[in-house]
Chain A
Amino acid sequence: MEWFNNWINKLHETFIVGDRYMTLIEGFEKTLIITFGALIIGVIIGTIVAMIKVFAHNSPKSRILKVLDVIMNIYLTVIRGTPVVVQLLISFFIIFISAKDGTWVAMLTFGINSGAYVAETIRSGIMAIDPGQMEAGRSLGFSNIQTMWLIILPQAFKNILPAIGNEMIALLKETSVAGYVAVVDLTKAGNQIKNTTYDQINPILLVALVYLVMVMLFTWLIGLLERRLRKSER
């Protein structure tokens, strides 16, 4: 068991000495903040984009909607056509050049990026709702937007909640590139410890393990949610 004792000593040296594990915990917090912040921003943007696209599809005569639809298409094309790391670099070094804390820039960038992918999910969720629901809402006197908000979106969200959960998992892993813009997230924290301790193995493996456990936890929660939704009224 000598190798085991050696390994424990090594772990102690790497993580405990100099309270280096605190760097990891802070990095972990940053990763969570960026992920959840980005998810919320992404869902808000995605909902707005999806609604504009659906309205534009339903009333092809409206000029304003047509212009907005074109703008949304440009947004989707640009965001989906460039790597998120490059978007992050553009945000930090070109747009928000005066930002001192990269965390907010990263959150916003990942949110804008995620919005482009969430938009398609939400749009398909809206399209899957029986058109009779919109007609019933309109026939009672609700406007297009009121019907969307009160009747269509609640049903659509219920259907796409699992997909949003998967987006969260994707985001969690994607944020590992936040270190590019001086954000000490989980990955960057592990990397820093590696550099100071010359321990090439353990910090990286631990970081991987933390991501893995998080993803497994989220996956389990989504599964729970899905079963719950299947059982309810519908």
Chain B
Amino acid sequence: MNADCIIKTNDLCKFYKGGAIKALNGVSAEINKGEVVVVIGPSGSGKSTFLRSLNLLELPTSGSIMFDGNEITDPKVNINIHRQKMGMVFQHFNLFPHMTILKNMTVAPMKLLKMSKEDAEAKAMQLLERVGLADRANTYPSQLSGGQKQRVAIVRALCMNPEVMLFDEPTSALDPEMVGEVLAVMKQLAEEGMTMVVVTHEMGFAKEVADRVIFMDEGVIVESGTPEQIFDNPQNDRTKLFLSKVL
């Protein structure tokens, strides 16, 4: 494992119904520090399962995951500690509807990092400022549009100072006119050097922002390379077929 590598999966498998359904069928991948990796593939290809297993929201059937030098798939490991360093953004935002935006963002740093209320709120406000939502700090999630909710979800994860950000189809539930504002925040994050793993259908984003693109199908990594390699010169027939449908 090279020094820059922050996540390394080894032969990751996830089977359902006793092996009848193979969502992941031996996925080995490395994510380096500061790298933006975009995972693409047809629906049911296992790309979301792969992403969700990186912080063990899906428990792999077999295989191992190294994160920051620790094997987090070891049952003895306290996964909660490691999840603090892996921010996650969901397709459906999953903001906490009973808390204000500010509380959504400060609850985890205060309870888990033992940050003071003042520090947590100052950090939250600073992040909200960055995504242009500082004036919404004291409103509830239901009062925001989808794009605003997702921007809040991103900064909520950032409040924990994560080393990696995982994005699970962050724009798939958005109205088309709101996709851009969310992608802009993600792009800015990438430019600041955040390590990101992004599952998305936004090929434009993949081309523009990704350092590396992984194409998955039927639970395996079919092809992986720079955006140019994957989009302009795909080697595998399945990659070609998929790209011909989405581009």
Contact = CB atoms under 8 A, between A and B. Distances in A.
Interface of A: 130, 132-133, 135-143, 146, 150-151, 154-155, 158, 233-234
A136 B90 contact: yes
A143 B80 CA distance: 6
A150 B107 CA distance: 9
Given A132-B92, A233-B140, A139 B86 contact: yes
A16 B143 CA distance: 59
B80 A142 contact: yes
B97 interface: yes
A150 B90 contact: no
Contact of B142 (A130, A136, A233): A233
A142 B141 CA distance: 20
B109 to A, nearest CB: 9
A133 B94 CA distance: 6
A154 B97 CA distance: 10
B96 interface: yes
Nearest to A61: B59
B127 to A, nearest CB: 14
A139 B83 contact: yes
Contact of B55 (A133, A139, A234): A139
B112 interface: yes
Interface residues of B, number: 27
Main secondary structure of the interface of A (DSSP, over half): helix
A140 B112 contact: yes
Interface in B169-222: none
A138 B92 CA distance: 15
Given A130-B94, A132-B94, A234-B97, A138 B142 contact: no
Interface string B46-80: 00000000010100000000000000000000001
Contacts of A141: 80-81, 83-84, 108, 112, 160
A141 B78 CA distance: 10
B98 interface: yes
Contact of A155 (B81, B92, B98, B107): B98
B192 to A, nearest CB: 21
Given A141-B84, A155-B98, A233-B98, A135 B57 contact: yes
